[in-house]
Amino acid sequence: MTEPDDKASECRADDGGGVGRATVVVSGLTLVSRFTGLVRDAVLAATLGLSVWADIFFLAFLVPNLFRRLFGEGALTSAFIPAYTRLYGLDARRAAGFAGSVLAWTAGVTAVIAAVGVVALLIAGSWVAASSRASEALRLAAWMLPYMPLVCLVAMLGGLLQARGVFAPAAAAPILLNAAMISAALLAGALSFGASGVAFALALSVLVAGVLQLLWMVVASSRRGLVARPSAASGPEVGSMAWRMLPMAGGLAVFQVNALLDHVIAFVLSPPDAGVTTVGWLPGGVAYPIETGSVAALQWSQRLYQFPLGVFGIAVATAAFPALARAASDPRAFGGVLRRGLGLSLWLTLPASVGLALVAEPLVALIYERGAFDGAATARVALLLLAYGSAVWAYSLTHVLTRACYALDRPTWPLRVMAATVPLNLVLNLTLIWPLGAVGLAWSTAAAAVVQALGLALVLRRRGGLGMAGTATRVVVASVVMGVVVWLLDQRLAEASALVRVAGAVGVGMAVYALASWPLGLMRLLASQRTG
């Protein structure tokens, strides 16, 4: 077993303070990744706009992404990190053999799933009308599904590195996907491929990016000597991990169902072309409640609210998970790490929710409004961003709380809470789309996210308490102060350019929030949570 050569790229999260340092590493690289993601989205928006082919591509891309989140970045890594951490504390060689066995098992299982999935998608595509939206979406999804086993291995190697306190390589890997998709969109546009050609070029770039990401992570992990040949002796540990993974996969599947519902409903209940105004398979000539291009509009808005969620919320959860796993056997230490993670998460993401609500329209205009993406598209996406963005804090807390349950080896707790939100989300979806259109889908998702976060907090509170009331109250006060100042400023800048409005809101908002946090004792309170 060799130690990492590049100490600057390491960040060990052994305690509460380590969580803060690891968050800085993950947040910094995630910030770069999100910025390249914004460039990617701006290029795609200018090329595809809110067109039918934008809907087709993003619906198809949901399929490999669903499996990636379910297996690669979800259940597999969540089950692997605590198991590997425990083994490493006992025997480093045994842990390396376990890692090799899990990687081999992951490669085999996900490759079989991808192969079966491609065949199923192609067969399903042959059952629907040729060249219809559904057939094209299924064909594109079949093209991109081989990305799933590649990115699952990327996520597993990232989880292995994170378990050893090395966060930089995994946080940087998404930059390769963004670069590949930007290059494909620009090249396809320069060659005048048309919207359909751009969509298929993007699908190919996803596969290329998967190969590049895997090579990147193989190099990052191999130089640290953390993986050994698969060992038969690791069989019991792998089997035990697989059993623990099942309820985790169930919980994540429920979460992904909520996310998938928005896009599927938007696709099915929007007109297939400009000449159709009523839903043919519903009696009474019911008009389509959702506009064409809403799948793409949902995607563009989600990308914007996921920016602060990834830079702050998911970064905190990622950094906290190994520390939570290490502290799982000590209730006091575990509570300290969890409170610090939740405090940091809320402190960073509640003002993001407020800020997104205040500058939704100028932000969308600044990032997307060019080429095929016009002012009407900006207005549509801004309304969606307002709805989704209102719950950034809830999405963030859910990530931390879910990982806390996994660290305690209680994977069924998130499953039960998330399962309860599926019918809620579906009922809200099917109710709100009629008066609100696609915006109703976003508000439904936000409401379900709040219920999930509160439900998980209640479950963990009953198992030892969280003690977060003081922190939450102070964060709310600081966020309200920031929101009032930013709103007054934006009223003064109403006639200014989108760049000036967004820059003013971000700059002034950050300064006011920092100043408001200081007398409220948030800096000191969060720092004191290191020891609980």
Which pLDDT does position 74 carry in this prediction? Answer: 60
DSSP state of 10: B
- pLDDT in 10s for each residue of the chain, 532 residues: 333 333 333 344 444 444 556 556 666 777 788 789 889 999 999 998 888 899 999 989 988 887 776 665 566 676 777 788 788 878 888 888 888 888 888 899 889 989 999 999 999 888 876 668 888 999 999 999 999 899 888 988 888 887 777 777 888 888 999 999 999 999 998 888 888 899 999 999 999 999 999 999 988 887 767 776 777 667 777 777 777 777 666 666 666 666 778 888 999 888 876 666 777 667 767 888 998 889 999 989 988 998 888 777 777 887 788 888 888 888 888 888 888 889 888 998 999 999 999 999 999 999 999 988 999 999 999 999 999 999 999 999 998 998 888 888 887 888 788 888 888 989 999 999 999 999 999 999 999 999 999 999 888 876 655 677 888 899 999 999 999 999 999 999 988 999 999 999 999 999 999 999 988 877 665 554 443 4
How many domains does the structure of the chain reveal?
1
Task: Report if residue 355 sits inside a domain.
Answer: yes
Question: Would residue 3 count as lying in a domain?
Answer: no
On whether residue 360 sits in a domain, the answer given is yes
- What's the pLDDT at 496? 93
The predicted structure's pLDDT at residue 3: 37
Angle subtended by helix axes 92-127 and 235-268, to nearest 10? 30
pLDDT value of residue 532: 40
**Is residue 217, in this structure, part of any structural domain at all?**
yes
Write b or e for each residue in 116-150: b if 16 or more Cβ atoms lie within 10 A of its Cβ, otherwise e: ebbeebeeebeeeeeeebbbbbbbbbbbbbbbbbb
Domain carrying residue 339 = 13-531
Q: What confidence tens digit (pLDDT) does each residue in 203-236 have?
A: 999 999 999 999 999 888 877 677 767 776 677 7
- The answer to the question of residue 6 being in a domain is no
pLDDT of residue 254: 65
- What pLDDT sits at residue 130? 65
- Partners of residue 166 on adjacent β-strands: 10
Residue 526's pLDDT is what?
55
Domain annotation covers residue 270: yes
- Asked, for residue 2, whether it belongs to a domain, the answer is no
Encode 299-338: b = buried (16+ Cβ within 10 Å), e = exposed.
Answer: bbbbbbbbbbbbbbbbbbbbbbbbbbbbbbeeeebbbbbb
Asked whether residue 521 is assigned to any structural domain, the reply reads yes
DSSP bridge pairs for 278: 287
Rounded to whole angstroms, how far apart are CA atoms 160 and 84? 8
